[in-house]
Amino acid sequence: MGTASAQTPGYPGKPIRFVVGFSAGNSIDSVARIIAQHITSKTGQAVVVDNKTGANGMLAAAEVARAQPDGYTILISNSSTITVNPSLYKKMSYDVKRDFAPVSLVVSVPFILTVNPQNDPVGTAPNLKAMLDLAKARPGAYSYGSAGVGNLTQLSYELLNGMAGVKMTHVAYRGTAPAQVAVLAKEVDSTFDNPSSVPKIKAGQLRALAVTSAQRWHELPDVPTIAEAGYPGFDISFWVGALAPAQTPPAIVKTLSDLIATAAQDPEVKAKLAQQGNIRMLAPQQFETQIDSETRQYADIIRKANIALSE
């Protein structure tokens, strides 16, 4: 993920284009628009959000990888596209390490392990360890739903299965919403849901046993992390961040990273970002380190669980 040594004074001197690989209204798009509006207000330069959907964000990533490395075409992407896809797809039109210069991580979002409280015995287990003890006693008898083969929700469960020494049956759905419906309908015993499940958790329709991040989720302060629940070191979150084409001048990468980071200092913008996830601004080098670490972690999970796409 190298960058050239040249410097470009006066950045930004023209409109910036944020390329987002997901549809308008998606959480990634929402983060992009919040940051775009903030940068425009700080610099007076327009930041245009361009939604280039398709191939799980990979079409947008490929376009930015080929863009001029001048800081005016920036990818706003997620952990799946950047750190998971390289181990899932045999052929990709971009190479993360070679083609991108990390700019800043912006927000990260945990998954929430949910069960149906009406689904005995899994749904009535007093805590995560008790639920996994049930699964350990009956290998394959209990199931979990994911948002799709190779999705972070599956990888999270496979990591947990490995750490706990259990075997649960995987059922793949097309998104977290259908997986949540399956838990409510008792088609599967549990799932890793996203924070959209919080209203149902607070209403008692779902039970939250743990969250995947290293810190507790602010909307569910009484729900422990998986690490706290007895599995130290467990830490998986879905993040949204910004990346520039490789060879973008370091001065531009730093300027853009600093501009994004100031969003956390503006109370109004900070409040908007907090609705999307835990604000976690990482500088370029820190972000690069996290990308490298996660890429290795997910590659290991995918290999051990023998996860492969059918296509």
| Domains of the chain, start order | 16-109+237-305 (3.40.190.150), 112-229 (3.40.190.10)
DSSP per-residue letters across 182-239:
HHHTTSSSEEEE-GGGHHHHHTTSSEEEEESSSS--TT-TTSPBTTTTT-TT---EEE
**Among 86, 68, 81, which residue's Cα sits nearest to residue 28?**
81
- Would the pLDDT of 143 be above 60? yes
pLDDT at residue 1, rounded to an integer = 56
User: pLDDT-based confidence at 5, cuts 50/70/90?
Assistant: very low
266 is written with which tokens? 């503006």
Cβ neighbours around 169 below 10 Å, total: 14
Residues contacting residue 218 through CB under 8 Å, at least 6 positions apart: 274, 278
307 is written with which tokens? 């996860």
pLDDT at residue 309, rounded to an integer = 80
- Would the pLDDT of 102 be above 60? yes
pTM to 2 decimal places: 0.91
Instruction: Tell me what the mean pLDDT of segment 109-126 comes to.
Output: 97
